[in-house]
Every structure is written in structure tokens, then in C-alpha cells.
Chain A
Amino acid sequence: MTDATAGAGPNPQDAAAKAAEKPGPMLAADGTPLKKSLSRALRRQKLRALMLIAPLLIFVLVTFVAPIADMLFRSVENQIVSDTLPRTTAALDDWNADSGELPGEAVYEGLYYDMVIAEERKLHTRLGSRLNYEQTGLSSLFRQTGRGVDDIGEVYFDQFDDLNPAWDEAVTWAELMGEPNWVAEAKARAGNDESIPGFEMKDGIEDLLPRTAEMYGIFAEFTETEDEDSPIEEEPWEMVHVALYQDLVSQDVSGYDGAQADLLNEAKAAVGDFETIGFKDGFLEIEDDWGNHDIWATIKTYSPNYTNGYFLAAVDMEKTPDGPALRDENERIYGILFQRTMFMSLMITFSCILLGYPVAWLLANLPSRSANLLLILVLLPFWTSLLVRTSAWKVMLQQQGVINDVLVWLGLVADDARLVMINNQFGTIVAMTHILLPFMILPLYSVMQTIPPSYLRAAKSLGATNWTAFWRVYFPQSVPGIGAGSILVFILAIGYYITPEIVGGTTGTFISNRIAYHISSSLNWGLAAALGTILLAVVMALYWCYDKIVGIDNVKLG
């Protein structure tokens, strides 16, 4: 048995034996262990390589990894509810939605303060839109409530005012709540039109009037940062009056001897006779819907910081008191859209294989001069704008379009029965096959180029007919090209947006069109992110399947 490898080269067993003779680690010339000095040398190489790819790495991180991470985060993120309604959601923790009763007064109290603050910050409409995804009507409810919520405060505001007009003065409040030094300084500066230092809360006032202190603090901060004004000159919101009323009813203020102590004690004596309005009643007066159990259930369901609601919505499910359940038959759209997207992408991929394979074969087997010309023709579509190409298909395929005209002229189709070939699945498949065809041809071509013609000749010389030679010998070797092209085309197709948007009509649109709709029209980014995440997962799952079945190392781009 003679061959080139036998006997040539050192015997690995010999080498191993030699290495085993030496005790301890191998040493380099300078005495350091060989392993260490090798890894040091390699580390420098690696560092240099890293520096070379650093610009690309940063680019990819910023433009690819970060947006995907952001998308994944958005698809479960739900902080807007608890951020906007912190007191309400905290109070709702104690409420059991299954009880069938409305939440208690504490929840409405929290809602009152939350709504006033949100309204001042103009956040309540955003929250309304967010919750409207889950239950229609919530958007207008929050808008209406924002307008009416001050009515509750007015009741107490007027009574404090009636009791003593001093309560209508900004300075009164500032003296009551502010640190005396700050009050003096602020007053002096205000008189001279100088800039006023930031508000400082009086020591101990939080214990005395906890709600008032909290609300006044919020008011003061908002006034300073948003209105660029000072609480020394601005009368507080009605909500602070409400808080003061609540504090005076429940707290003992006799120990207080700071500024405005008399006024406070006067008010303390009077509040017992105040006309009151319950928070719950106040809200019911603004909007009947606040008495709707379902609305509270929805708010409670979406009060955690993270939610699977977007994902449920993306697979046509919704949260119900009994856990997630499928939506009604007529409300399901995403399942159908996902199925359609998969089906059409597969159709497009197969059409591309069918049309692209012969072209690639021709390209690989023509003499190079004609092959180059053909390659230019294949690449020609890349030189034309995508929109132009898609619109051209519209012109070709529409009912008054070129193809229908020709068919009618030939008498193959009656004039009143022109074919519908656009704004449906057929149109989308045709146009997208055309657009994605080069992505199939190029990998196929480069793989076919590496298959020497001698294989076909060998097969024929062994007795195979043209077809057998092709099918048994040539085709299996071109499969890696088909694999690469299919992955490319399929992944491009599954996320394609422009073409289905233009020629897809209603039956030929993809999931990506829906994603775009949620991003730019309905502004439901969470749902868009969930849909995108599912799409990403589907693609990766398919990729994984492909790897298991065909083997990813069988994919060659050339």
C-alpha cells in the first residue's frame, strides 16, 4: 500500500512520546513557560485584530444590537401605568378584581392626586392612548377626566378661601411650608426682581402635614422646573388644598408654632364643618365610566412594570380575569398575517429557485464574455429604485394594465372579465420574486462556478443520461447554493415592507406592514416590538431547523 501520506511527516505518537519525556512545562528561550509567552504573543495579535474591527463592531453595536435589545425590551416594558399613576396602582394592590366590587375610596384618592399631577404634566393622554390598546374608550375617559379633575379640588379651595382670604395668597403657603431662612431670602429677592433660590421644605412639616407636604413639594418642584417660577409667587394647585383638608381632618396640629400657626389652627377648627365630596363620587360625577368594574380591572392588569400583554396581543390573545384567552374569531388578525407572511415568503423563495436556477446555470456555463453581459442584466434591477420597480409592476398587472390589455386584445380574456393580478397575493408574489431574484441567482452562480464541468462529463461517461447526470451529480453539489440563496431570499422576504405595501392590497400584506402601521400610525410601539420579536424568533427558529436538516456548513456563498 503506497500513497503520498503514509510515512510522510512525523509520527504523532513519536512526538507525544518525546513531549512526555520532559518533566514540567515547556520553557521558552527566556525561561518563561512556553504557554505563557505564546498566549502573550497571541494576545497582542488579538488586540490588533480587535482594533481593526473596532469601527465595525461599534457600528454594529449601535445600529443593530442596541435597537434589537431596545425592541426586545419595549415588547415587555409597561412602566407608563405605574409611572403615571403611582398612588393608584399602589392602592390597587389591595383590591381584588374578582370580587366584582369597585375599588375603595383609597384608590380614588390616589387616582385624584395622580390625575392632577399627570394633567399638569400632560401625561394623562399618553397613558390613555396606551390603555386604549387594551380597552377602547380609555383614551377619551382619561382626556375627559383630565379636564374635570379640578372640580373636586375647587370644592375645598373655595372653602379655604372663604374661611380666610390669606389662603389665596402664595406667600401664606410658602411661609407655612417653606424653611424660614429660605422664605426670608426668597421674599427679599422677589422684591428686587432677583433670581429666587430653590424651595426648601420646613423641617418637621412632613410629620405634621404629610399629604400637604408631599403635594406642595411636587407643586413647588414643578413650578420651578417646568414653569420656571417660584412657589413664593405662585399660589398652589387646588390639590394642595385637598391634601391640607385631609391632613387637618386626621392630624393634630396643636403643637405647631411656626409661621402661620394661627391660620392653621383656625382652619383646623373650621374643617369639621367643611362641605365635603368623596373622591369616588367626584370621579363618578366627572365620568360614569369610573364606576365601570372592567376599567379598573384593565388598569390593575396593566399596572405591573412588565407585561406579556403585547405578546398576547401579537398572537391574537388577550388577558381576561380567567387568564390569557384567544380573542373572538373576528378580532384575530396576527395569526393569519403570520401564516400569510410565511406562506408567501415560501412561495417567493420557491419561485426564485425555479426562475433563478436555470439563469445561474447559464451564467456559470457560458463563456465569460457573455456571462458577464448576462450578469449585468441580472444585476440591472439593483440599479433601479425599488419604488420604481414596484410601481412598474402595478402598471403591468393592474386591470387596465399592459398584461390585461394584451390578453384582451388577443381575445384570451373578455373585456369585462379582466384578471385581478394586483393588490392581492399574486401581485405581491410576482413583484417580490422579481425584486429578490438576484439574491437567489448570485449565491447559486458562485456555487455553480466552483463545480467543474468534468463532473457532468464523468457522469455521462459512466453511462448516465443528461438528466441523471444533472440530478445525481450536479444538483446535489449545487444544493449549498440553493440553501444560501433560499435563506437570503426567505429572510429578506419575511421582513419585506415596501412592495407588499404598494401592491399587496388587503390580502397581500405582510406582518411587517402591520408592524409599520403600529409604529407610525397607531403608535403602539410595544405591540410593534412584540410582533417584531416574534418575527425574529420565527426566523431564528427556521434557521435552526435549517441547520438541523441541511447543516449550515452546507451553505456556501462561493
Chain B
Amino acid sequence: MSALTTNYLTPSGREEAWRFTPLKRLAGLHDISVDIADRISISNRDSLPAGVKLTNPLSTDFPPAYESNDVVTNRIRKAVQKISLLTIDNDLELAEPIFLARKAGSSAELSRVVIQAGINSKATVVIENNGVGEIGEEIEISLATGASLNFISLQEWDRSAVHIGQHHAIIGKDAQFTSYVVSIGGSVVRISPTVEFTGSGAFADLYGIYFATDGQHLEHRIHVDHSVPNAKSRVNYKGALAGNAAHTVWIGDVYIHKGADGTDTYELNRNLLLTEGARADSVPNLEIETGEIVGAGHASTTGRFDDEQLFYLQSRGIPSDIARRLVIRGFFSEIVTKLKSEELEERLMGRIDAELAKVGE
């Protein structure tokens, strides 16, 4: 990668990466002239199982394992003294998810998190973002050979929160990474789930759900980098929008580099507009530098709520509010049911119902 001289410059909003984002509402997280402290705000919700550790080593002992061209990520790297480090031992198989809770402070903060999944380990890590906060975050996730990690980031923020994050996964040979990014709360949420493969036979599944109501800006910028042979990726993000100035942005960049033969990738984004006045931007982008691939494709749709579905359900006696809820739950269920956790499924569906209940209030 060429030296990115713009890394440390405050974006003006004209840059491709920032053209959709309301910079004025970012509490200075993107603005290098604004002083922002670093803070440890991640803690385990329950006691950790044997073989899992959460510690706070010096950041200098854990230099970044990849290059980022994101201005917020780069200032986090400069500012942060201590990181939150979660390690999962080799061969450890956990049936229950590890819940990490973020307790943001009263002022804006920068945070760096490193998650290391050991060889052949199997685990689910859930990060719960609740309450108010203004946070710039980098989460670096590495999966050793044969590791299987479900990573779930829940943005259940209060309406005033601002959250800018990069979640970068480095996926080793035969490892399986599945991420779920769920953005429902917050004033501005801008998350960049990025993925690179370091060994063949690796698999990344990136799922997302978002629901933007009045004035919310929810942005997800996916970047999947295929540079080794025989890796597979799937991206599926679904969003609903309702109300005035509800705005969502989905960017799906997939790069298949020379030598990444046998790559298999597909990305999908679907948006459902529930009312007038909401706007969904959806930009899939696939770049392919080798012909020797298994498959590569993308699809993006943005549509209105289907009144025929509503009529069908109502004609069976189902009142309109319950009918709408069924249709919306149905829209998201494809992704929610993949969580394979009844607790999380119910929690997310409950959140979605609550957002829907706000519509038309």
C-alpha cells in the first residue's frame, strides 16, 4: 500500500470515505485538532470462563497487525496507551457467548480493543454498546489457524450517542469468522467491518442489521480483501428506515487481488423504506484482478413496504400493527435466526419491534 499522506488529516467531507457522514455531529472524533482522551471502557459482563482472559496491556506491546487508512483508527493508535485485550486459548470450545459491555464516559473517548482467537478455538464474543457516549473505536480481531469466532457488535445506544468504529478481522488458514453488526440506537453510528485473509480455506460471513428512525445516521462500510487463494466470503446486510431524515449508508467493497485464485464471494444489501423522508444509500463495489475464481457477485435493493403483504395478513384478521410487525420481523429473520441463540434472537426482535412502535408516533 502506498503511503497515505492523508491518514492524519481531518476529513473535510469531500473525501470518498466521508462524503455520506455528517461530520458536524461526530463530536470531533474525526477532527485531529480536538483533544480526545483514551479510556478503557470494555469490561466483561459475567465472570470469564477458564481459558479466556481480558487484560489491559500497553499498546506498545501490541502494535497494529495491519495498516489502516481510516483517520479515526489512526488517531486511536496514536492516542491510546493501554488496550483491552481479549484472548481465547488454543483448542478452547465455548458453548456460551462471552459478553463484553462498553461503559462509555461522559466525554468523548478513544478505545482500542484486540481480540485473539487461538488455534482451533470456537467462541462467540458479544460487545454490548448501551447508554450515552461518544466513542472512536478500533477492534482488531485475529483468528489463528482453524479458529471459529462469532463476533457480535450490538449498537443499542441511547439516541444521543456517537460511535465511529473499525472492526478489522485477520483470518488465518481454515478459520471461520462470522460477524453480526446490529445498529439500532445512536445518533451517528459509522462502523467499518473490514476483513483480510492470511491463509487458504478461510471463511468470512459478515451479517448486519440496522434500523434507522427520525434523524439517525447509521453507516456501515464493509471491506473484504481477498489476497490469498481459496478463501470464501459472504456479506448480507439488511436495513429498515422510517421517519424524517433517517439515513443509512452501506458500502460493500470487495477486492479480489492477483493470486487470490479460487475466491468465492457474494455480497448483498437490502433496504426497506417504511415511510417517506428516509434515505438509504447502497454502494456495492467489486474489483477483480484474477479470472480464476469460483464466484463473485453482488446485489443491492431498496424498496418500499409491500402493501400486498399487509393486505394478505389483515385479510386473515391480523390487525395492521401486528401485521407490520410480522412483515418487518420476517424481513430481518433471515439474519437474526443465524445467531442461533434464542436469547439474542428475542432481544434483537424486541429491539426491532420497539423501533417499529416509534414509527408514526
A and B found bound together: no
Q: Which residues of B contact A (CB under 8 A)?
A: none
